[in-house]
Amino acid sequence: MTNSTSIGNTILHVDMDAFYASVEQRENPSLVGKPVVVGGSADGRGVVAAASYEARAHGIHSAMSARRATQLCPHAVFIKPRIDFYADVSKQIRHIFEQFSPLVEPISLDEAFLDVSGTEKLLGPALKIGRDIKRQIRDELGLVASVGIAPNKFLAKIASDLEKPDALVVVAPDRIQSFLDPLPVGRIWGVGKVSAESLRRISITTIGQLRQLPKETLIQLFGASGEHYWLLAQGIDQRKVVPDREAKSISSETTFAEDIVELESLNAWLITLVEQVSRRLRNHSLKGRTVELKVRFSDFKSLTRSMTLEQSTDITAELLHAARELLEKRIPEKHLPVRLLGFGVSNFDQSNMTQLLLFDEPVREQQRSLDIATDEIAKKFGKGAIHRAATPKSPKDRSIQ
């Protein structure tokens, strides 16, 4: 048995099913059973942020242009995203998670890892915990979650996705290889279309076949990524579940169902990522000075760019300004289609004693007040009545790393 099974961890990956669309269907029961598209518009403008399972049956998926979605399903119901509202629901879900474990690592508004290794004696086996989480989310919030249970993050993430929607899949420590081996190599984190095609040329299409290759062969083919592929094929993933308060950085990322080229579409997704990260910073009373943009292209090569701000901040407008500067000025203008986009903040100031810039402070206070008001409205009313301006102002003169 691989050493991934000897560490005694029990990890849950909880993923909300069609989260944005499901929330909208919950709020408006007349939408239940209909193809709901969150984002974009029926006249073909904008980008799909999420789609209900009824819409997915027509081939609609996130990151698709609204124009294409309309062509695939002319009778789809388009709804403007309410990120503040979804964030409020996400916070309610997070409170449920924290009843089962103090070790909760949010990945985005609709998914998180939980380490229940230390709570199983108190709350029962992991399978019972998974069922209880699903039941509580359904009973209290009227939503459906899929849960994967496994000895590590990689396996739990795959497990939660295999039988969606409403999945509950357990990967026992003694069944890791029988679970992984039949799956396509594309299930391994980092294996994109280009890598999968390279493997297909040598007749490797499943994880089981990949596992049989010598590690050295994979390193020759893919460099440092080859060792990463080999470890995951063995079911080995030593990463721990790290709660926000203990993290050295807070980040969020999304992998697109279809690669994106248009800057407008990338900017639209960047707003969502920055909103998620900034709200998590404020929820944990953290402010950071370093922002980082992560871009993974269609050839699966990744690029990261970072910027150090003059002051640590949790202000959405400032973080969004920095993120856009990195996206528009630090990423090559002519680039391959984008497969993944991520945004993160690090270099935290735990003292909350930040130096004030005399002339910028009134503007910062206005933006801070806007964040507080938006957070409070989402918390109290959950209706997303206030939406952030598309192009917020922010202090200038930042130093670039």
Q: What would the two tokens of residue 360 be?
A: 């910028």
Enumerate the CATH 3.30.70.270 domain ranges in the chain, comma separated.
1-175
Categorize the per-residue pLDDT at 103 as very low, low, confident or very high, splitting at 50, 70 and 90. Answer: very high
CA 293 to chain centre: 14
CATH number of 245-400: 3.30.1490.100
User: Which residues are annotated as catalytic?
Assistant: 111
Taking CB atoms within 8 Å and a gap of at least 24, the contacts of 121-126 are 126/10, 126/12, 126/170
Q: Does residue 8 have a pLDDT over 90?
A: no
308-363 pLDDT tens trace: 998 889 999 999 999 999 999 999 888 888 989 999 999 887 554 444 443 455 55
Tally the C-alpha atoms within 13 A of residue 323's C-alpha that lie toward its C-beta.
Answer: 32
Asked if 379 contacts 88 with a C-beta cutoff of 8 angstroms, the reply is yes
Cα 391 to Cα 393: distance, rounded to the nearest angstrom: 7
Categorize the per-residue pLDDT at 5 as very low, low, confident or very high, splitting at 50, 70 and 90. Answer: very low
- Flag the least confident range among 57-61, 174-178, 325-329, 397-401: 397-401
For residues 7 and 232, which has the higher predicted lDDT (pLDDT)? 232
| pLDDT at residue 84 in the model | 79
| pLDDT at residue 355 in the model | 43
| pLDDT at residue 7 in the model | 40
| pLDDT at residue 350 in the model | 57
DSSP 8-state secondary structure symbol assigned to residue 252: E
| pLDDT at residue 370 in the model | 64
pTM of the model: 0.71
Say which residue the tokens 């073909």 belong to: 44
Q: Does residue 245 have a pLDDT over 50?
A: yes
For residues 373 and 276, which has the higher predicted lDDT (pLDDT)? 276
361-399 pLDDT tens trace: 555 666 666 666 666 655 555 434 444 444 333 333 332
CA nearest neighbour of 170 among 11, 18, 7 = 11
Query: What rounded mean pLDDT belongs to the chain?
Result: 85
| pLDDT at residue 395 in the model | 33
Give 340's contacts (C-beta < 8 A, 6+ positions apart): 253, 254, 255, 256, 294, 295, 296, 302
Q: Among 3.50.50.60, 1.10.150.20, 3.40.640.10, 1.10.287.110, name the CATH number for the domain at 181-233.
A: 1.10.150.20
Rounded to whole angstroms, the maximal C-alpha distance in the chain is 64
CA nearest neighbour of 118 among 296, 205, 243 = 243
Enumerate the CATH 1.10.150.20 domain ranges in the chain, comma separated.
181-233
| pLDDT at residue 165 in the model | 93
Q: Which amino acid is at 236?
A: I
Give 298's contacts (C-beta < 8 A, 6+ positions apart): 192, 193, 194, 259, 336, 337, 338, 339
How many other CB atoms sit within 10 Å of the CB of residue 111? 20
Enumerate the CATH 3.30.1490.100 domain ranges in the chain, comma separated.
245-400
Alpha-carbon Rg of the chain, whole angstroms? 21
Give 7's contacts (C-beta < 8 A, 6+ positions apart): 151, 152, 238
- Flag the least confident range among 21-25, 50-54, 72-76, 105-109: 105-109
| pLDDT at residue 129 in the model | 97
Q: Quickly list H helices, 98-187.
A: 120-123, 126-141, 153-162, 176-180
The CATH H-level superfamily of 1-175 is Reverse transcriptase/Diguanylate cyclase domain (3.30.70.270)
> Bridge-partner residues for 321, per DSSP?
none
| pLDDT at residue 356 in the model | 43
Mean pLDDT to the nearest integer, 10-37 = 96
Parallel, antiparallel, or unpaired: how do β-strands 50-51 and 77-79 relate? unpaired
285-307 pLDDT tens trace: 889 999 999 999 888 788 999 99
Q: Does residue 166 have a pLDDT over 50?
A: yes
